[in-house]
Structure 1
C-alpha cells in the first residue's frame, strides 16, 4: 500500500491518522463525560469528601486531558499531511447537496479536532485545580493567565465545540454507512486497511462554499451557547484582574489604631501533587500597634474572615463542603493575637479558630514603617487536620496536610 494519497484512494499515512484520531476521540469522550459527572458530585454541598471519588475523578480527568492534548498534536500532523497530499475525489460529485454536506462535515471535523482540545487546554491552564496533564512540559500555556473569568469562558467554548464535534462525527459516520450499505460504493473502503481495486472518481472542482458554511455552523453554535449562558457570567475577582482585594476593615479609636486600606489573605493547598492557590475576598481587621523602642510587646490584632468569600479555583465549591470548611455551619474564622517586636522582625502570637477548633498559631511577619503608613507581609503554615478539615483524607496521597496562608496588607494610622 502506498503511503501517499492518490485521486482515487487514501495512502497508509492518511489511514493511520484517521483511525488513530478516531480511537483517541472515542476514548476521550466517555472519560470526559464520566469525569464531569464526578466533578459535579464533588462540588455539590452535600459531598461527603470521599477520597475514592476524588481520586477517581482526578484519574479520569488526567486521562481525558492527556488524550485531548494527544488529539491536538495528532490533528495538527494530520492536517499538515493532508495539505501535502492530493485529496481523493468524491465518487458522486453530481449529487450537489450530498457533496456540499460531505465537505462541510469534513471542514467541521478538521477544525474541531484542533479547536476542541485547544479550548480544553486553555481552560486547564487558566484555572486552578487538580488533575494534571500527564507529560513533562508543565501545566501552563504561553500568554494564558490564571483567570477564573477566562476559565469559565473557555469551559463554555469547550462544551459547545465538543457537541459540535459530536454532531459532525455522527453525520460523518452516517454518511459513510449510507455509502457502504445503501449506495454500495467504495467511499468507506477507501479508508479501510488493505489494498483493492478502487474506482476512479469523475473530474470535479472544489469551492470555498463548504468552508464558509462550516464557519457559519461554528458561529451559530457559539451564538447559541452564548444565548443559553454557557460561557459564565461572573466577573473576575479583584486579585485575578491584577489588583488586590480590599477587605472590609474595622478600627479602634485611639492613637494606636490602624486602618487597613488594602490587602490580601491567601490560601494554598497541594492536591494530587499540584498546588491550588486562592484568597479570601472578605475579612475585617482590628489592629492596634505602637512601635516599641526595644524588642517587646507592640500591640494586638483581631481578624475575622468570611469563609464563603474564599475563591480556590475549580475546587471552591468542594472547599465549602461539610468535610472541609463547612461554611454553612461555620461561616467565619477568627484570628486573635498579641503583636511582638523581635530582635529581627515581628510576630503575632495567638489563636486561630476554624470550625470551632481553636489552635495556637504564630504569624511571623516583616513590617515597613514610613511615618503614618505601614506595609506588612507574612505567612504561616497550618495543618488542616488540626481544624478537622478533610478528615476523610487521612493521608496526603490526595490532599497534603500543610496549608500555606500568605498575608499582605497596607495600613495607615487612624486619626
Structure 2
C-alpha cells in the first residue's frame, strides 16, 4: 500500500524514511571524519568535505520530499495516547528532526555559497545560491549555525533511535513494525496539539541565538594597528589575495593594515611602508589553516612589512621594494595606477608572488592542493 492510513505507514513514507535515515547517518559520519582529518592531509580533508556537502544537498532534497509527502498523508495515531509525557516528547523530537533535516543542509549550503571555492559541491549548479552574497561574515555566521544545528540533529536522531528501541525491546509493541513492514496498529484518531511544534521552534530559536552570539575564533577581531604617521592619510582600502585551492580560485583578505606614504605628485617619486596584521587574515572556511604554523604562522610572525621607494614607469607607477613575511625578506615589484585630484588620491595595483619564497605552505610541495602563484591586489584612497 502506497498511502498512509490512521494505523499504518504506506510504502512511499517508509521508503523515504529509511532513505533519509541512510543519507543522514552517512553524512554525519562524513562530517565528523572531515573535521578530524589533520590539515597535513588537506587533499583527503577537502574530498571528504566535498562528499559531505554533496550528500547534504541530497539530504535536503529527500527530506523536503518526505515532509511534503507526510503533510499530504494521514498521520498514523500514537499507540499509547494516554502516555501524555512520552507522546509529547516523541512528537517534539519528530518536529526537531523535520526542522533539522532541512535547516542543517541549508545553513551549510549558505555557508558554502557565501565563501570562495573550498571543497566544491559535486552536484552541478551547486556552488552558489540566489540572494546569497560572497561574505566572510555571513559564512562564519552560517558555519556556527550549521555546527549548532548539526549537534541538535544528532541529539534528535539519538533520542529517536532510543525511543524506537524502547518500543521494540521494552514495550514490545508495533511502533517499529509500522515503519519496517507497514503493519497496522493503533486505536481511534486522537487530536493533534501544537505544543510539540512550538517546543521545536523554541529549541531552534535558542540554537540560532546561541550560534549568532557565540563568537567563532576565526571571527574574533584582530588587534588594530596604530595609525602610521604619514604625509598621506589612508581613508579606505582593500588588501587581498587570490590563490588556487584544489584547482579553484579562492579569495582572501587582510582587513588590518596601515600605510605610511610619502609622495611628491610633481616628480612622481616617494616611498611607502605598509604594515600588515597577519592575524587579521580571512580566507573563507580555511582561515584557521591560513593562520597556522604551516602557512602564515601568525603566532610567531604577527606582522608583515612591505617597504618600497615609488617611481614613475610608463603610464603608471611602481613600488619596487622588499616584503618581510614569516621571517623571510624577498623583493617585490608592485605596479599600480594612481589618480590625484584636489589632494585626494586613489590607487590600485596587482602583482604575482610565489608563496614558496616566504616558506608559506611548505608541506604542499605541488600545486594539486594549493597553487604556488598568489595574486596580491591592493586599492586605497588617501588624502594629503
State whether structure 2 residue 267 is matched by structure 1 residue 287. no
Matched pairs, number: 383
Q: 360-369 or 14-23: which moved more? A: 360-369
Q: SS in structure 1 opposite 2:320?
A: strand
Within the candidate set 315, 326, 341, 2:286 is matched to 315
Q: CA RMSD in A?
A: 2.9
Structure 1 CA distance, aligned partners of 2:360 and 2:220? 27
Cα displacement (A) at 1:292 = 4.9
Contact in 2 for aligned 1:247/1:282 (Cα 8 Å): no
Q: Which runs of 4+ in 1 moved over 6 A?
A: 233-238
Larger relative contact order (Cα-Cα within 8 Å, sequence gap ≥ 6) = 1
Cα displacement (A) at 1:80 = 1.0
Contact in 2 for aligned 1:249/1:260 (Cα 8 Å): no
Structure 2 CA distance, aligned partners of 1:401 and 1:164? 40
In structure 1, runs of 5+ residues without a counterpart are 43-49, 239-244, 252-256
State whether structure 2 residue 75 is matched by structure 1 residue 87. yes
Within the candidate set 188, 195, 217, 1:202 is matched to 188
Q: SS in structure 1 opposite 2:35?
A: helix
In the alignment, what sits opposite 2:198? 212
State whether structure 2 residue 236 is matched by structure 1 residue 250. no
Cα displacement (A) at 1:167 = 2.4
Cα displacement (A) at 1:264 = 1.9
Structure 2 CA distance, aligned partners of 1:308 and 1:216? 37
In the alignment, what sits opposite 2:333? 362
Task: Please show how residues 145-160 of structure 1 align to structure 2 within 5 Å.
Answer: 145-160=133-148
State whether structure 2 residue 384 is matched by structure 1 residue 376. no
CA pair 348-203 structure 1, distance change in 2 beyond 3 A: closer
Cα displacement (A) at 1:352 = 2.6
In the alignment, what sits opposite 1:62? 50
CA pair 26-327 structure 1, distance change in 2 beyond 3 A: same
In the alignment, what sits opposite 2:110? 122
Structure 2 CA distance, aligned partners of 1:186 and 1:341? 84
Q: 88-97 or 379-388: which moved more? A: 88-97
Structure 1 CA distance, aligned partners of 2:29 and 2:353? 39
In structure 2, runs of 5+ residues without a counterpart are none
CA pair 69-247 structure 1, distance change in 2 beyond 3 A: farther
Contact in 1 for aligned 2:59/2:105 (Cα 8 Å): yes
Cα displacement (A) at 1:89 = 2.1
Structure 1 CA distance, aligned partners of 2:83 and 2:138? 44
Cα displacement (A) at 1:226 = 6.3
CA pair 138-342 structure 1, distance change in 2 beyond 3 A: farther
In the alignment, what sits opposite 2:249? 275
